[in-house]
Amino acid sequence: MTAPSRTSSALPTVTGPPGSRVRQLGPNWYASVMGTAIVANAGVALPWQFPGLRTACTVVWALSAVMLAVLLITRTVHWARHGDQARAHLLDPTVAPFYGCLSMALLAVGAGTLLVGKDWIGPGAAVAVDAVLYTAGTAVGLLVAAAIPYLMALRHELKPGSASPVWILPVVAPMVAAALGPLLVPHLPAGQWQQALLLGCYAMFGMSLLATLCLLPIVFARLLAGPRLPLALTPTLFLVLGPLGQSTTAANNFADVAPQVLQAPYAEGFRMLAVLYGVPTMGFALLWFALAGAVVLRARRRGMGFSMTWWALTFPVGTCVTGAEGLARHTGLTACAWLAGGLYVFLVLAWLTAGIQTLRGLLAGTLAPAS
């Protein structure tokens, strides 16, 4: 059996009374956790720090942790009480890819715990929490990266011209795991354990990058040849920035820990990779940022209202911030530092906009349909 494809590309919303809201709650809501956590993770690593920034980032991390806990509980209730709807989401090609957001939410909050959460809960507890969330997020990410493409290939009815940037979500999850794994490397026993984690992250880097390279031409072809995305899905064009910024972040994070884990010439190779891969990739990311931004502005002028797809303007841009921060560390270029700062301002503004509009919709008991 296959699920019929939704021509409207609608996503789950949470309208109606509380009982029906839980039934309608989809995995796309984890994007709000990702978008919140990246504000903290990117902010604490900015080349320029000012008084109060770290405290603000810690508060934002705590908010993302609470959001993650609430969503995990609510989604568990959703599966327990509305299993039919949950299975229908898996068979819906417009919803199933968002299961990648669960993995990335776990990974982002875990990394934030180690980066800033340790200020409140202590270094030992922070390492333990991150280890649990990283392990769970990586396991979910690897499962989703294989299972969702399997469902898309054999169970979903995908029509010609239906390619969407959302398709990238499942395969980018391992890249997030690859980028954040190096944070745990120094906390493992020296030798085989550290090498295994670093090289395992490098393997996930390749896994996600090659899968993304298979999908990007399809997405770009639809952007140029049509059919055009529905207005409400236009912000998902920013999802393409995710694998670009996150892979640049990963390459730079590899370079940070490789000298303590690997011998020459491999450690030096990772430092070269950070710049030789990161600079051209960030260049393409900036091109896509400009293109996607222009398309979104056009859609806004044509009447695009708020929907949960606006969260696509947060986490992917945040990965470009962390990518630019890494390039600033390894190249010493002030231009990269300024780029990170400018993108971070955009990230904060996008996060505030999406957060306020989401909160307003929740309080009103309705959110604009994503269709």
Q: Tell me: pLDDT of 231 over 70.
A: yes
Instruction: Give residue 319's pLDDT.
Output: 97
The residue ranking higher by pLDDT, 4 or 191, is 191
The number of C-alpha atoms within 13 Å of 321 and in the hemisphere containing its C-beta is 26
Q: Tell me: pLDDT of 327 over 80.
A: yes
Name the least confident of 86-90, 130-134, 205-209, 326-330: 86-90
Name the least confident of 11-20, 55-64, 197-206: 11-20
Please report, for the chain, the start and end positions of each structural domain, with discontinuous segments joined by +. 18-364
Residue 64: which pLDDT band, with cuts at 50, 70 and 90? very high
Q: Tell me: pLDDT of 73 over 50.
A: yes
Mean residue pLDDT across the chain: 90
Q: Write the single-letter amino acid at 251.
A: A
Average pLDDT in the 131-145 region? 97
Instruction: Give residue 366's pLDDT.
Output: 64
Residue 368: which pLDDT band, with cuts at 50, 70 and 90? very low
Question: What are the structure tokens assigned to 193, written together?
Answer: 């354990």
Average pLDDT in the 272-276 region? 96
Q: Tell me: pLDDT of 371 over 60.
A: no
Residue 148: which pLDDT band, with cuts at 50, 70 and 90? very high
Q: Say how many Å lie between the first and final Cα of the chain, rounded.
A: 25
Other C-beta atoms lying within 10 Å of the C-beta of residue 190 = 11
Are the C-beta atoms of 306 and 252 separated by less than 8 Å?
no
Question: What are the structure tokens assigned to 252, written together?
Answer: 């730079």
Other C-beta atoms lying within 10 Å of the C-beta of residue 346 = 17
Q: How far apart are CA 33 and CA 111, in angstroms?
A: 13
Instruction: Give residue 2's pLDDT.
Output: 36
Residue 21: which pLDDT band, with cuts at 50, 70 and 90? low
Q: Tell me: pLDDT of 7 over 50.
A: no
Q: Using one digit for the tens of pLDDT, what is the confidence trace for 280-325?
A: 999 999 999 999 999 999 999 999 989 899 999 999 999 999 999 9
Average pLDDT in the 319-344 region? 97
Instruction: Give residue 11's pLDDT.
Output: 58
Q: How far apart are CA 143 and CA 1, in angstroms?
A: 22
Instruction: Give residue 13's pLDDT.
Output: 55
Which position has the token pair 């695009």?
304
Phi, psi for residue 71 in degrees, rounded to 5? -70, -40
Q: Tell me: pLDDT of 14 over 60.
A: no
Q: Using one digit for the tens of pLDDT, what is the confidence trace for 243-262?
A: 999 999 999 999 999 999 99
Instruction: Give residue 344's pLDDT.
Output: 98
Q: Tell me: pLDDT of 227 over 90.
A: no
Q: How far apart are CA 38 and CA 318, in angstroms?
A: 6
- Sign of the Cα pseudo-torsion (173, 177, 180, 182, in order): negative
Average pLDDT in the 275-282 region? 97
Average pLDDT in the 321-342 region? 96
Are the C-beta atoms of 114 and 130 separated by less than 8 Å?
yes
Q: Tell me: pLDDT of 6 over 80.
A: no
Other C-beta atoms lying within 10 Å of the C-beta of residue 151 = 19
Other C-beta atoms lying within 10 Å of the C-beta of residue 201 = 24
Angle formed at CA 29 by CA 26 and CA 34, multiple of 5 degrees: 145
Residue 111: which pLDDT band, with cuts at 50, 70 and 90? very high
Q: Tell me: pLDDT of 118 over 70.
A: yes
Inter-helix orientation angle 334-364/30-43, to 10° = 150
Q: Using one digit for the tens of pLDDT, what is the confidence trace for 162-203?
A: 788 999 999 999 999 999 999 999 999 999 999 999 999 999
The proportion of the chain whose per-residue pLDDT surpasses 70, expressed as a percent, equals 92
CATH for 18-364 (3.40.50.720, 3.40.640.10, 1.20.58.100, 1.50.10.150):
1.50.10.150
